[in-house]
Structure 1
Amino acid sequence: MKKTLFLGPPSFDGFDGGAGSRYQAKREITSFWYPTWLAQPAALVPGSKLVDAPPHGQSVEDVLKIAKDYELVILHTSTPSLANDVKFAEAIKAQNPDVKVGFIGAHVAVLAEQTLRENPIIDFACRHEFDYTCKELAEDKPWDEIKGLSYRNKFGEIRHTEDRELIHDWDAMPSVLPTYARDLDINKYFIGYLLHPYISFYTGRGCPAKCSFCLWPQTIGGHQYRSKSPDVVGRELEEAKSLFGDRVREYMFDDDTFTIDKQRAIAISKHMKRLGLTWSCNARANLDYDTLKELRDNGLRLLLVGFESGNQQILDNIQKGVKIEVARKFMKHCKDLGIKVHGTFIIGLPVETKETIEDTVKFAQELSPHTIQVSIAAPYPGTALYAQAKANGWFADDTLVANSGIQTSTLRYPDLSSEDIENAVEQMYRRFYFRPQAIVPIVKEMLGDPQMLRRRLREGGEFFSYLKERRSSQDVAHRKAKALV
């Protein structure tokens, strides 16, 4: 085995490159997802090390000290952070010219040729579902025999091997939880709507839904849900309990749609109840009452639900596959059962107008989930949304984040500017949270839990600082735009 480092490199202050399909950016409050895309191949490679620099506050110098002794360094990158990550690859090579450095992630999964051509410092890129590709690199298998690999040969020529098939035997995939326990500090990972400390991980990949904006199924995971059996997941959670004890307050199943196979979800939930573990998961807004009740009875606390828009035409345009009325019924069931919901919404989907934004704001207020996330539509390469934007001339520019790491609007429409989209995000947050229906449940939550009280007060300060920084970034961008004109 080559001495292998799996690396989430230092980035913008507060930037979460491992964030989900809506955006990879600096968030409104301190938020970091676990580095699942790095942890799974790391679990496959004996003796490897996983470093996730952003949440651990590790500087360039800190990580370079760690990286100097490794023979193979595999970095996770994203479209917004690519330029930053390439600079870090250059720094690694500068201190050790013999090290092989390559990238994984959605961006290079679909733009491997372009990434290698434009960045000669990179030795290779792993395409699509890359776990076993990384394993074979660490095993020092000849690169021309490794499926799913794009690489630079000894003559500097770019070569591509045949695509690697998707992984179907997920029961054979090792658990990432021992890797977390060995290499990560679980106290460094925060998500506003999850109990702290939490752990998130995948029990499978792929999503049958065809949402046009959704990054992972279109670039890496595919549209077939492939998963571990309930008993294997149960054994992994037993191991987690022995590794972390009572320190973890909540487990988050981060599968794109954990509840798509209802019977499997119920079977796993029974293991959670047996182990006395609180948990949450992703779900679509069409889960029936009986399934919700059984999951609740087996320890489910919260659902992360992508409502996206309050306008049915927008939902149809993005192939969401959920009707507004069904989402209303689903939300009522959750409230009746006492299941908390974190609702996610997107501003700037095709073809947004000021009227459809108003529909979304009012819909969010009507549903009144416990918390919300408002994102700007992000047309990542490899997604149907990206292809639509190119075909229709919707791109205002090609910048997904500002120099600060804050998300910006790359899209504009005939009746809606990029500035309108960005401003609507702040307005939606204000109009949702500055209501008694939103404030009272959060205050009750704070009064019932001293840790939550301290946390919400901190998050409130971070939220207003974020809004101030966003406005500052917008002002700079607009001044530059006027100067160019």
Structure 2
Amino acid sequence: MKPLFLNPPTFEDFDGGAGARYQASREVTSFWYPTWLTYPAGMIEGSRVVDAPVQKLDLADCLKIALDYDMVVMYTSTPTLAIDVETARTIKKEKPGIITVLTGPHVTVLPEESLTFAKGAVDIVCRGEFDYSVKELCEGKEWEEVAGISFLKNGAAVHTADRAPITDLDALPFSAQVYQRDLPINEYVIPHFKYPYVSIYSSRGCPSRCIYCLWPQTITGQKMRTRSPENVAEEVRWIVENLPGIKEISFDDDTFSADKKHATAVAKLIGPLVKPKGITWTINARANCDFDTLKVMRDNGLRHVVVGYESGNDQILKNIKKGITKAQALEFTKNCKKLGLSVHGAFIFGLPGETRETIKETTAFAIQLDLNSLQASLASPYPGTEFYAMAMKEGWIASDSFLDATGHQKCVINYPHLSNQEIFDAVEIFYNKFYFRPKYIAKSIWRMIIDCEERKKLLKEGAQYLQYMKKRKETRM
């Protein structure tokens, strides 16, 4: 069978594909690559990846494309499941014989419930890593013999044996090659990355135990598996030689720095490839990465780190099993500044233990860190996470919908002592106190004065941010 790998249409500027950790429209236009879809696509002849939100395709456009394929594989999420099921239903109406497949954390955790909810619109759900499951289905293997899938037969759910996590990551194709083949690379943008950028993985899984983090608890596991440094370097070499104009490579591993030996080995191999071309790279790092490791990476082209600080309260950090203290986060940030590394901080409001006082504490902590940029998300208890189990047990979940009518995050967590409305409002207060400081404004103005491209970028992002905040007030919970 010839498969179409589809990131389906949802909301305008909706970043919800197989690469986004929080499926939502963001404050400023942001698009991650649908990286998870590219691996099986790269292994199957005649396949194609379509990213509807980025390519500005509506459902009618996707239907026309789907008619040329035998199977449609979509990565779905808890926030978009209902929309994605309706997309599958519409495709099957147009071409009844097509096989529709859903993948992703939600259907991994709730396979039978997802199939029942779909009411015939979805033929198969893949549980866990779906690279080889889809490949085997397309090769014509009997469904009962394909590990890691669930489907309905005579009205009853059939669950084949679990598929073991992939151990040989070097055997997978290069996602960057599929990007070049199928996707408009210049349409992908992350505000704090250099543009244009590409995103790749050097590992799967994460050894940390954060209770809210979705992928390690549902798809990739809490044991880190790595590609060989040589294999990673070969993909970087291919990018440098075949994607002219790329200015930055993002390693979107859950925690690139978790295996320091691997991180430094990769750095030393890719440094000679990227530095002569002026290409930089970024990583997701924990705020306990040591100075020496950071320095090796910086010396080999690392420019920017994305760090999940989450909260400025030590008790909340303990509650969520972050494994890092405020003191460690401060030391890490100081080390990054010593090395001239840019830092983007990610924070979450509404985690267990949140109060009006801790919200103020986190805001003050972010200002103390004085990062280059930051983002704030609302705590989202996705099924399959320890946070979800905790929230269900305590009765904290106030809504079944994680999104509002425009695709932006809603706060579904409601504590007896702190309402979901207060948590929702905390995000705007947080942004205003951080971004409208005289110090930050002065730095931004200076960047615009010395760099015309930076000026265009900041003005565009500023306009998007103000428009987003206006919408947010209009759709206030």
TM-score w.r.t. the length of structure 1 is 0.95
Q: Is the 8 A contact 2:349 2:376 kept in 1?
A: yes
1:158 offset after TM fit, Å?
Answer: 2.1
Aligned residue type for 2:149: L
CA–CA separation in structure 2 for the residues paired with 1:351 and 1:261:
30
Structure 1 residues 296-311: aligned runs within 5 Å: 296-311=298-313
Q: Report deviation, 1:19.
A: 7.0
- Displacement of 1:99 in angstroms is 0.2
Is 1:387 paired with 2:389?
A: yes
8 Å contact kept, 1:186–1:197: yes
Residues 10/21 of structure 1: CA separation in 2 closer, same or farther (3 Å cut): closer
Runs of 4+ in 1 over 6 A off after TM superposition: none
Aligned pair partner of 1:426 in 428, 433, 448? 428
- In the aligned structure 2, how far is the partner of 1:241 from the partner of 1:287? 27
Matched with 1:17 is 16
Q: Is the alpha carbon distance of 1:214 and 1:409 closer, same or farther for their aligned partners in structure 2, counting shifts above 3 Å?
A: same
The secondary structure found in structure 1 opposite 2:166 is coil
How far 1:21 moved relative to its partner?
7.0
Q: Deviations over 1:351-396 (max 9, x none)?
A: 2100010110000000011000000000000000000000111111
2:79 counterpart residue number: 80
Which residue matches 2:142? 142
1:262 deviates by 1.2
Equivalent in the alignment of 1:40: 39
Do the aligned residues in 2 keep the contact of 1:22 with 1:378 (CA within 8 Å)? no
Match of 2:458 in 1: 456
- 8 Å CA contact 2:109, 2:383 repeated in 1: yes
- Residues 439-448 or 31-40, more deviating: 439-448
Alignment map for 1:50-69 (pairs within 5 Å): 50-69=49-68
2:151 aligned partner:
151
Match status 1:71 vs 2:56: no
Q: Letter of the aligned partner of 1:399 in structure 2?
A: S
1:306-325 correspondence to structure 2 within 5 Å: 306-325=308-327
Aligned-residue identity in percent:
48
Aligned counterparts of 2:447 and 2:269: Cα–Cα separation in 1: 27
Is the Cα–Cα contact under 8 Å of residues 272 and 279 in structure 1 kept in the other structure?
Answer: no
Letter in 2 for 1:329: E
For 1:119, the equivalent position in structure 2 comes to: 118
Name the counterpart of 1:290: 292
1:221-254 Cα offsets, whole Å, 9 max, x none, are: 0001101011111111111122202x11100000
Matches within 5 A, 1:307-386: 307-386=309-388
What residue identity is the alignment partner of 2:240?
K
CA distance in 2, matches of 1:90, 1:447: 52
Higher mean alpha-carbon deviation, 280-289 vs 263-272, is at: 263-272
Q: Contact 1:22–1:213 (CA<8 Å) still a contact in 2?
A: no
Letter in 1 for 2:402: L
SS at match of 2:422: helix
The aligned counterpart of 1:483 is: none
**2:287, 2:324 within 8 Å by CA — same for their partners in 1?**
yes
Question: What RMSD over aligned residues (CA atoms) do the two structures have, in Å?
Answer: 1.2
Letter in 1 for 2:136: E
* Residues in 1 aligned to 2:400 and 2:322: alpha-carbon distance in whole angstroms: 25
Contact 2:285 2:305 in 1 (8 A): yes
Shift in Å, 1:443: 2.8
- Find the aligned partners of 2:450 and 2:280 in 1 and give their Cα distance: 17
**Is residue 218 of structure 1 aligned with residue 220 of structure 2?**
no
CA contact (8 A) 1:21 1:215 kept: no
CA displacement at 1:451 relative to structure 2 = 2.2
How far 1:416 moved relative to its partner? Answer: 0.6
Residue pair 1:368, 1:437 contacting (<8 A) in 2 also: no
Question: Match of 1:184, as an amino acid?
Answer: L
Instruction: State how many pairs are aligned.
Output: 472
Mapping 1:468-483, distance limit 5 Å: 468-474=470-476, 477=477
Whole-angstrom CA distance in 1 between matches of 2:55 and 2:446: 31
Q: Secondary structure at the match of 2:25?
A: coil
Measure the CA separation in 1 of the matches of 2:222 and 2:311: 22
Residue aligning to 1:481: none
> Which residue pairs with 1:438 in the alignment?
440
Q: Give 2:412's aligned residue.
A: 410
- Distance in 2 between the 1:437 and 1:250 partners? 27
Structure 1 residue 22: Cα displacement:
5.2
Counterpart Cα distance in 1 of 2:374 and 2:354: 19
Give per-residue Cα distances to partners, 1:242-274, cap 9 Å, x unaligned: 2202x1110000000001111211121123221
Which residue of structure 1 lines up, in the alignment, with residue 270 of structure 2? 272
Partner of 2:475, secondary structure, is: helix
User: Counterparts of 1:375 and 1:10 in 2: how far apart (Å)?
Assistant: 22
**Residue-by-residue CA offset, 1:46-87 (whole Å, 9 max, x unaligned):** 221000111111111111111011101101111111111111
Q: Give, in whole Å, the separation in 2 of the partners of 1:289 and 1:279.
A: 18
- Superposition pairs of residues 170-209 of structure 1, within 5 angstroms: 170-209=169-208
Name the structure 1 match of 2:130: 130
* Structure 1 residue 167 corresponds to structure 2 residue 169: no
Letter of the 1:249 partner, please give it: K
- Equivalent residue for 1:252? 250
Partner of 1:482: none
Offset at residue 441 of structure 1 (A): 2.9
Q: How far apart are 1:20 and its partner, in Å?
A: 6.1
Q: 2:109 — aligned with what?
A: 110
Give the letter aligned to residue 27 of structure 1.
Answer: R
TM-score by length of 2: 0.97
Give, in angstroms, the shift of residue 450 of structure 1.
2.2
Letter in 1 for 2:305: L
Q: Distance in 2 between matches of 1:366 and 1:20?
A: 30
Q: Which residue identity does 1:125 align to in structure 2?
A: V
Q: State the distance in 2 between where 1:141 and 1:452 align.
A: 52
Return the offset for 1:292. 1.1
What letter is aligned with 2:335?
H
Q: Deviations over 1:196-219 (max 9, x none)?
A: 111111121100000000010001
Q: Distance in 1 between matches of 2:446 and 2:113?
A: 52
Letter in 1 for 2:269: H
Give the distance between the partners of 1:405 and 1:101, measured in 2 at CA: 24
How many Å apart are 1:288 and its aligned residue? 1.0
Contact 2:19–2:33, Cα closer than 8 Å, also in 1: no
| SS of aligned partner of 1:326 | helix
Aligned AA (2:221): G
SS in 1 for 2:336: helix
